Structure 1
């Protein structure tokens, strides 16, 4: 099956599954409704969605503990199941967390663990984990995905550290190995409530962990104090089979290439990765949902070089959400401002050159994939 996943902003996630029938025609099989989607990936024969939301646990004052909520779609049957684990104090620092991306490599599952501050439940359970009482919101505030309630710490107290959880079994119920580093900030791309995957394995099994340096966007206001990060956008590495970060590996993206921070990234082949960058640098990243991210580059993780992608149209308007990789190249949907139909561009991992390919008779294209008829 191929599964479509629809975010639906703050509402429940929806989706559908499709397969190729004997005549090679895509055919819808099932429709789904499940927990809100903020990140997703695969684990074994399951497509997994994840978000953080209310659990069934409350304290004496009625404050609700937060949980990591999972939805599993079976690639063999199209079946749907759900699960949940505790998101409170997951890292031992009192904060609730979410996961950003799932990466299978070396017989294990890696996920970036993103701390999100302390809930009212968490503050009640672990008051000694509040590093500064001025960080606790005195009134409701914010809007949309940035809204918060009084009595919580709305953003992390630890913006300049990254954590990765390593699972060796087949269930999130097991206790993972958690590794951390202070060379980069937390590892995920962000747009509104979406947490984009920025941890990817190279072909040799080494795991590369990318950070945009979003902690710098946590700025205090007259109504709310926040811990502001200082770490630039960078990448670190966990060697194949290791349970610690490589102490000798670090790349600062704001010192090479166009010196712009990473928004999203994907593995192409070998140790090459496609980077989607903030076109206007750190200043642009500070614009949040209005930031421009129309710059692509190829990162060679072994050589530690960034090569800007060339060959894209001069009237570039934006990209589809997810590229498709195959045979050492990446295919990404490109839209332009001139009214032409969107087209796929093939990006060569070795040269960074993009070549125009298939034009699509549509207003926009999110991504592409490949199905084959199962014999």
Structure 2
């Protein structure tokens, strides 16, 4: 077994808690939903009790598979990413301690997943794929720039070369990244048109920012007068804990092969910041269609920033919406905008993924805007298909379990133009994958393979490799 060790730095937890999965065939590709070649295998990461296993399946459309007595036990993972059909990366977040992880391949000799590389890292934010590299980015206090008392925050990067196992690191100052005095985090990476796109999330002004860019404080009442908040939302007096610009979206476009370059920043005030959110986690909501057009979705979370007696915040007003950056362009398409809350069942979105062509799978707030405002108690069991060029939103109205019985929806695996989404229910049945064909008029779901396990963490495909 080859072993490689590398370090990832943290900041605010960004991206998915279960699976990074672009539903394009580029990184989650397969031969067909119903069958694979004699050597390729569908691979499912499933958790039973405290253990996580990698199990293989010949079909995602029918039957049942189990981890009991047949799976490859793993270290578990908070985050999973398939690098094409070559590797499956598992990254385990250890509650603030140093993280652990491993990559897995499908053994050519046994036809089963086996550990290939192992590694350690600090804490994870957002991650994706850029050329030959699995990339990570995180925002943290640095040790370079200082205002005399506080260090500036930096975005820290890791590049894990998937072909030779080498890793390199880099940093860029996160303060005033957008020219508005705020520090930022990234949420999601999309490689398209020989460029890399990432959503830039303004996070407010740190102590360093308040002291260094006082002219960029829009209202001094926004500066916290006392300590407050809990967990990742905690703050101390003297900083601005949330963004002053909830009704703006920013996309950074990189043209080269590393974050050392200065990106092109594209912004709009037609939608709010572009990421899904659950507690301290931020989910990718920017995806490229097959023709390279980038679709930028905003849930409209600026509305959830409400002032209290001891802290004033800027509250957004914009609804859940979507805009577009056409392939090769470096501005938002001014002719393209849809208010998602005026379409379908008229609810805001929570997360989204690209399936095929210009079809996207959207996970919606079941109880609408009122449900979104409840934060961690929100119900997000409704699915919809968005046909981007037509601006048509179709609720997945049949074939799924009763919404009241769904306890969680996983990130989908997409192949041959359809999406397979893991569904866990409380009705006593095993978790199962549900297949959704976005091109059908009613967006009907069909139950596929059942997985004898407690949870399904990841689904994808691996081709056999020797090592």
TM-score normalised according to structure 2 size: 0.78
Q: Find the counterpart in structure 2 of residue 283 from structure 1.
A: 370
Structure 1 CA distance for aligned equivalents of residues 425 and 292 of structure 2? 37
Matched, 1:337 2:337: no
Per-residue Cα deviation, 1:149-205 (whole angstroms, up to 9, x for no partner)? 111000000000000000000011100110100000000011122221100000111
Q: Find the counterpart in structure 1 of residue 152 from structure 2.
A: 65
Structure 2 CA distance for aligned equivalents of residues 13 and 158 of structure 1? 33
Contact 1:187 1:198 in 2 (8 A): yes
| Number of residue equivalences | 375
Q: Find the counterpart in structure 1 of residue 389 from structure 2.
A: 302
Report the more deviating stretch, 101-110 or 311-320.
311-320
Q: How does 1:175-190 map to 2 (within 5 A)?
A: 175-190=262-277
Deviation, 1:146, is 1.0
Q: 1:8 to 1:230 in 2, by over 3 A?
A: farther
Per-residue Cα deviation, 1:98-132 (whole angstroms, up to 9, x for no partner)? 00100011100000000000000111111100011
Matched, 1:87 2:87: no
Structure 1 gap ranges (5+): none
Structure 2 CA distance for aligned equivalents of residues 38 and 17 of structure 1? 18
Per-residue Cα deviation, 1:270-300 (whole angstroms, up to 9, x for no partner)? 1000000111111111111221111100000
Q: How does 1:97-116 map to 2 (within 5 A)?
A: 97-116=184-203
Match 1:143 to one of 230, 235, 240: 230
Aligned-pair RMSD on alpha carbons?
1.4
Structure 1 CA distance for aligned equivalents of residues 341 and 127 of structure 2? 28
Structure 2 CA distance for aligned equivalents of residues 167 and 268 of structure 1? 24
Structure 2 CA distance for aligned equivalents of residues 322 and 71 of structure 1? 24
Matched, 1:21 2:110: no
Q: Secondary structure at the match of 1:366?
A: strand
Deviation, 1:48, is 1.5
TM-score normalised according to structure 1 size: 0.97
Higher relative contact order (CA 8 A, sep 6+): 2
Q: How does 1:165-176 map to 2 (within 5 A)?
A: 165-176=252-263
Report the more deviating stretch, 10-19 or 351-360.
10-19
Structure 2 CA distance for aligned equivalents of residues 60 and 98 of structure 1? 21
Contact 1:9 1:193 in 2 (8 A): no
